[in-house]
Every structure is written in C-alpha cells, then in structure tokens.
Amino acid sequence: MAGIVCSIERFREKLGYLTTFGLFLLGIYTHIFLDLITSYGTLVFFPFTDKRYSLDLVFIIDFYFTALMLIPLVIIKFKREWTKVIALSSVAGIIIYLGIAYTWRTIAIESAKAEAQKLGITGKRVEAIPLPFSPFRWSVYIEDDKRFYQVDVDALKSISPFNSFEKKHLPEGLNQGPEGNNIIEKVEKLEIVKTYLWFARFPVVTVKEEGEGYMVEYFDLRFNSLPPRRPFLLKLILDKSGSLNHAELMFHTIK
C-alpha cells in the first residue's frame, strides 16, 4: 500500500483527486474482498457488528490464486503494450478460478452429505473450507448437538473416513457429575476464552485433570487439516477451584 501511495502521489496532479480517491477505495475494497474469500473471513460491517463473514473459497495462502494476480504484473513490467489484454485476462482468470472453487466446494458438501446419510449422521450445520494446494480438496464439517464430524473430500479422487469430535470432552469421573460442566462454565466467562470462541468456527473443548487442578484446551477444528500440527490451540491451567493460573495461545502445537 505504501508503494501505491507513493506512486499515486507522484502523479496526483495528472490523475486528479476523484481518480485518486477512487483508486484508494478500490484498494480498500479489494483488500476486504481478498479476506472475505478465505476461510479466515473478515469483519465486513465493522464497527456496526463484529460478526465475521467468509465465503470459504480459497485457502489463506493460495498459490494458484496469487499467481493469477502476480504473474500478469510481472509480464506487464516487460510488455507494457499488452497491459490492457493482460489485465483483462488476469481478472477473467480470477473469476474463473473462484467459479471453479465454488463449484467444487458445492460438490464436496453434497458428497459429504450423501456419505453421512449412509452412516446415519444428521447435522444442523454443514460447512466446507478449502485445503491447501488445490481447489478440488475440501474439509467438510457436519455439526449436531454434541459432536462435529470432519471429512476430507478430494473431488477428483475420493472421500476420507469421517472423524468424530465431541464438543465437550471430559474425564470419565467429571463426566458423571456437574463438576466438569461447572469448570467449562467458569472458563467461558474469561475474556480470552470469549475472544477465542468469537474467532473459532468449530470449537471443541477438552478438560483434563492435572496435578492439583485442571488443564482446559480449546481447539478450532478449522485448523485440523494438517495433522499432527494443531495451531491456534488455547491452553488454560486452572487450580482445583477453577481459578485461572495460566493461559497460552499456541501456534505450532504437535499432538
């Protein structure tokens, strides 16, 4: 953006203020759009609402999509007489790529639904997010009242077995009484946990007895696509009364 600003400043008198303003708006809304098409999403209507919106069409770093934007810029550097044709070709390529991604995302969801029906799995929510390196590979999530089901679908090859994850996983002793749920209720009043749950889309929580207290882990299954890594794992250490001793957000956790 700094380079764009400097370049525009040099030619501001030639471009005029309205053109300059339009280019800035284009840059801002292009940035928002590029965030919107990823599985991370963005706050489209902030500050009016902090709800995150996502189209789930491309992985956070998509090499093919990036190439469709960067390679034309490199070519234009050496072939300025082709600028218009190359620019239009780049835009057309991006639109086609996103269309392919949307189509195969829909196919992946329908394939997962059909397979889930065979297994007797029904869900109140079904979503798919892109996997890296291909617009044909998707991770599909099916949610019911107590579990998330995750299945990876390669639209050109096969569908993987379903993985099942309890939304709340408690040790057997705690699971028999109210103590485990009381621990979860306590930690979910903490600001760090509220923020994590606001960001997470498929959160699961695990409570473990540890020493004289408990360890509580929150993990967003959205990042369960590259095992054994578990990035964005929130770990909380509590004493026996449920008071917080330590909290840590871990980015490169290995199972």
DSSP 158: -
Query: What one-character-per-residue DSSP string does 110-124 give?
Result: HHHHHHHHHTT---S
Task: Say which residue the tokens 């709340």 belong to.
Answer: 168
More confident residue, 250 or 150: 150
Domains of the chain, by residue range, sit at 2-92, 102-164, 168-254
The pLDDT value given to residue 210: 82
Quick: pLDDT tens for 24-70: 888 889 999 999 999 988 999 888 999 999 999 999 889 999 999 99
pLDDT score for 241 = 80
Does the pLDDT value for residue 118 go beyond 70?
yes
Mean local confidence (pLDDT), 100-104: 96
DSSP lists the bridge partners of residue 206 as 169, 217
Burial status of residue 130 (CB atoms within 10 A of its CB: 0-12, 13-18, 19 or more): buried
Q: Which residues of 185-210 are buried (b: 16+ CB within 10 A; e: fewer)?
A: ebbeeeeebeebeeebbbbbbbbeee
CA–CA gap between residue 206 and residue 255 (Å, rounded) = 13
Confidence grade of residue 185 (pLDDT, cut at 50, 70, 90)? confident
Q: Return d(Cα 114, Cα 165) in angstroms, integer.
A: 20
160 within 8 A of 153, measured Cβ to Cβ: yes
